[in-house]
Copies of this chain bind each other. A is one copy, B any other.
Amino acid sequence: MSTDKKDHIINTAIELFAENGFEGTSIRDLAAKADVNIAMVNYYFGSKDKLFEAMVVHKASYMREKLEEIASDKTKSEIEKMDAVIEAYVNRILTQHQYHRIIHQELMLKQREDVHNNIISLFSKNTLIVKQIIEQGMRKKAFKKVDPELTFASILGTINQVMLSKGMCNLLMNKDKNFNPYTDDTFKKRIITHLKQITHSLLLQH
C-alpha cells in the first residue's frame, strides 16, 4: 500500500476541490492532474465521497491542538492569548488556504452530511476554547463585557472575508490578477495588525 500515492491523490484533490468545488471536479480531472489511472481513486478510497472524507481527516485537528496550547500557556495574559489566537489563525489560513476554502464550502452547502457535522463539531470545540479565554478576561475585569462567541466570529469572519476569494484580496490590496496574496507578507501583517487593533479596542478597558 503506497501511502505516497494516496497522499499525492489527496493533495491533488485539495487543489482541484479548492478551485472548482467538489461537484465541479470530476474523477477524470483529478486522475489527469495527479497523473494516475481513473480507477485508482476508487481503488484506494472506495468512492469519491470517501476520498473527500479522507481529505478532511488528513488535515484536520491541527488548529485544536494549537489553540489548547495557547489557552493553557500560563505565561500569557488573556490579551496576549487573543493575540496568539489571531496569529495562529492567520498563519493557518494563509498556509492552508486551499483546504480552508474546501471546509468553508462544505460548511455552507451541507452536502455530505457526515463531513458537515464533523466540521461543525471541530469548530464548536475551537469556539469553546476561545470563548473561555475571553470569559476569563472578563472575570478578571481585564476585558470589557462582550459577546464571546461573536467576538470569535468577528476574528474568523474577517480573515475569511478577505482570504476566501483571491479577487477580494487583490481588490483590498489594489493588486493585479497575477499577485498571489497567500504568500505576501505585507498582506499578512496588515490583517494581523487590523485584527489586533479591533480586538484590543473591543476587549481592553481604558
By a CB distance below 8 angstroms, the chain B residues around A147 are: 190, 193-194, 197
Shortest beta-carbon distance from A109 to chain B in Å = 5
**Contact residues on A (Cβ < 8 Å of other chain), bracket:** 35 or more
| B-contacting residues, A125-164, CB 8 Å | 127, 144, 146-147, 149-151, 153-154, 156-162, 164
Would you mind naming 25 contact pairs between A and B with Cβ atoms under 8 Å apart? A21-B21, A21-B111, A24-B111, A105-B108, A105-B109, A110-B167, A116-B167, A117-B167, A120-B171, A123-B171, A127-B171, A146-B194, A147-B190, A150-B162, A150-B172, A150-B194, A153-B161, A154-B161, A154-B194, A156-B157, A156-B161, A157-B157, A157-B162, A160-B160, A197-B202
Separation of A20 and B111 alpha carbons in the complex (Å) = 7
By a CB distance below 8 angstroms, the chain B residues around A158 are: 150, 153-154, 157-158
